[in-house]
Structure 1
Amino acid sequence: MKKIEGKEVKWGVLGVGDVCEKKSAPAMQKVKGSQLIAVMRRNEAKAQDYAERHGVSTWYGDADALIQDPEVNAIYIATPPNAHLELTKKAAAAGKPVYVEKPMARDYQECKEMIRVCQAAEVPLFVAYYRRTLPNFLKVKSLIETGEIGKVRYVNITINQPKHPDMKEDIAANWRIDPEVAGGGYFFDLGSHQLDYLDFLFGPIAEVNAIAGNQAGEYPAEDIVLANFRFESGVLGSGNWCFTTGESSKKDEIKIIGTSGEISFPCFWGTWVTLRKDGEKEQEFTFDMPENIQYFLIQSIVEELLGKENASPSTGETAARTNWVMEEMTKNYYKK
């Protein structure tokens, strides 16, 4: 795969919306060997506003113009998923490495095509599953690898969330619950992080049995998914994702059960890790997060683009597996 020539990754961002305010793009200005030099949004006035507030020198209202900017040598696609494939094709054709938001695409076929075009152009493809680099999630991985809970038997995911927790406008304006844009609903938005992280811990999921439905009938996407699954490594798993519960049932927990203990931790609403071992006192570990939550992943991508082999743990190949799993878990609903 091609590396960046020179000593600096010069990023151009397509789609500077909410995720770029704090989570991701500002880190590109902080990581050593990295600069954010251009941003784009279809509304050019909003792109200019972002650029002026964040100290970015160049802005565009057209994606092609940013991709062809000779000063930009890496592309970050921060749009909704329906644009990921098209923009990846254009960036790859321009010979520029691609970093794309999660979920990687609307479906597994789009993911495979993104991988194909990047391989053909010999450009790296990375995906924003940044939990693979955060200290609390790395602690869980370390506890498992050092045998703190013995041999892992199974893992369980539970997400209970009230309806529309992030709504600041009408339902019709929320692309996260429009399958034509997002591929699915909140499950694709949130569950993708959890499933990708389990792939990081235990390897690929080989078998899925699941049912998805829409119980509240407020939008076209699924609002509940129940699943059982098996990893190639032999670990078993189950998951319950419900996005129409009451506040009193709100829950975010991943629990990993082993032959001599268990580990539990939240994926979204906390940064602690709890370890329970047979015959020992419970331990709780807490962690501080970087100001820009994607900092460590972006740092790993920059290191790889500047020559360090396999520095980033989140690639197109790993991320595509998560799309396959989500598609399997919802295929009864979408009739795929």
Structure 2
Amino acid sequence: MAANEERSVGIVMNGVTGRMGYRQHLVRSILAIREQGGLRLPDGTVLRPEPILVGRNESKLATIAKEHGLDRWTTDLDEALKLPGAEIYFDAQVTSRRVEGVKKAVAAGLHVYTEKPTAEDTETALELARIAKAAGVKVGVVQDKLFLPGLLKLKRLVDGGFFGRILSVRGEFGYWVFEGDWQEAQRPSWNYRAEDGGGIIIDMFCHWRYVLEEIFGPVRSVQALAATHIPERVGEDGKPYACTADDAAYGIFELDGGIVAQVNSSWTTRVFRDELVEFQVDGTEGSAVAGLRRCRVQHRSTTPKPVWNPDLPATEDFRSQWQEVPDNADFDNGFKTQWEMFLRHVAADEPFPWDFLAGARGVQLAELGLQSAREGRRIAIPELTL
């Protein structure tokens, strides 16, 4: 194809009426790529994504399509997968519906990019990986937190040897999700029903697997305590429902090199942090606290010597003793950045490391985390192979 020539790529986007599918994937990723004039490939070709919207609510689909000047949408996934120019299938449905959609797309010969978790159990996640490999299609799983500015800075510190020997990682994630009675809940009700694929462990442990492994090293064991702190919530229909899934999880993960990671995940906590997620990393040569955007450090040479004295008020401003890590780069939306990587993977055969096997590893950690919580014990994590 000649340099500067433009070609379109049809993307069947299933689940765009949901919060993440609409805001992060359609508006801030695919439509943003279109608005910037497309995606330039190494040979000079400009790739223009053409979304084909799919969902179960015809009215919502029609509204979204009209608002953004899109003319291809349907409630029939089978129809969408057969449309001319459809090359990629994207899935942002509820977890319990994902496997069916992905299998149909692979059978239709489309490349697949999907939200996580890829399935509700490890064996099914591995089955998807095997099916996709046998079909010869390219696949990818969203790993958005790797592209957060704060974690990119943290990775830069690790790669630069700032910490010396890393000792521990402590993560805090979460916020208060309203129960839906006197204030509307800011997350959909299926998140709190295990029978619909809900639960904070299946949601967040998939994230923690790739964050810990990509930045610090392989996860070798998990010990988790799960809780359903709010037993009843009010759904979108205004009716109460029983919460059958965990809404908080307290996990300890052992990593290679003796690193111990503790990560609390909760939809039942009120935020007293600078950001909704923060990781503190302590090493022999220095420490860092990284969030969504910011990252601050304290080097060994500038570490003060606090003295424990409960009889006197603290006189030190501990936060002021840390130094801000500069951006040193322009950070784009993380979802958009990964979409661009996957589009280049499909159109130009550039590498994309987060395939369905990577997705299965996330599901595995969640499944073993739930098992650990049920049995009250530490569980080693075996290697996964296709």
Residue of 363, 376, 379 corresponding to 1:323: 363
Does structure 2 retain, via aligned residues, the 8 Å contact 1:34–1:302?
no
Residue of 273, 288, 291 corresponding to 1:263: 288
**The residue matched to 1:306 in structure 2 has which SS?**
helix
**The residue matched to 1:164 in structure 2 has which SS?**
coil
Counterparts in 2 of 1:134 and 1:247: CA distance versus 1, 3 Å: closer
Partner of 2:343: 302
Identity across matched positions, percent: 24
Q: How is 1:240-251 mapped onto 2 (pairs within 5 angstroms)?
A: 240-246=264-270
Partner of 1:148: 162
Does structure 1 retain, via aligned residues, the 8 Å contact 2:168–2:261?
yes
Partner of 2:20: 19
Residue of 161, 174, 181 corresponding to 2:189: 174
Residue of 136, 161, 175 corresponding to 1:161: 175
How far is 1:259 from its partner? Answer: 1.4
Cα distance in 2 for partners of 1:248, 1:289 equals 26
Structure 2 counterpart of 1:296, one-letter code = T
Partner of 1:3: none
Counterparts in 2 of 1:131 and 1:241: CA distance versus 1, 3 Å: closer
Aligned residues: 325
Structure 1 counterpart of 2:344, one-letter code = E
Counterparts in 2 of 1:173 and 1:156: CA distance versus 1, 3 Å: closer
Cα distance in 2 for partners of 1:16, 1:303 equals 22
Q: 5+ residue gaps in structure 2?
A: 1-5, 40-46, 233-242, 303-320, 377-386
User: Over aligned residues, Cα RMSD in angstroms?
Assistant: 2.8
Cα distance in 1 for partners of 2:224, 2:204 equals 17
Cα distance in 2 for partners of 1:161, 1:197 equals 20
Residues 1:252 and 2:277 aligned together: yes
**The residue matched to 1:215 in structure 2 has which SS?**
coil
Q: 5+ residue gaps in structure 1?
A: 1-5
How far is 1:286 from its partner? Answer: 6.1
Q: Runs (4+) of structure 1 moved beyond 4 Å?
A: 165-173, 246-251, 286-289, 332-336
**The residue matched to 1:89 in structure 2 has which SS?**
helix
Give TM-score, length-normalised by structure 2. 0.76
Does structure 1 retain, via aligned residues, the 8 Å contact 2:204–2:265?
no
Give TM-score, length-normalised by structure 1. 0.86
Q: How is 1:1-336 mapped onto 2 (pairs within 5 angstroms)?
A: 7-17=7-17, 18-26=19-27, 27-29=29-31, 30=33, 31-32=38-39, 33-164=47-178, 169=184, 174-182=189-197, 184-218=198-232, 219-246=243-270, 252-266=277-291, 270-280=292-302, 282-285=322-325, 290=332, 292-310=333-351, 312-333=352-373
Question: Could you say which structure has the larger radius of gyration?
Answer: 2
Structure 2 counterpart of 1:19, one-letter code = M
Structure 2 counterpart of 1:255, one-letter code = Q
How far is 1:326 from its partner? Answer: 1.5
Does structure 2 retain, via aligned residues, the 8 Å contact 1:37–1:57?
no
Cα distance in 2 for partners of 1:203, 1:86 equals 33
Structure 1 counterpart of 2:296, one-letter code = T
How far is 1:163 from its partner? Answer: 4.1
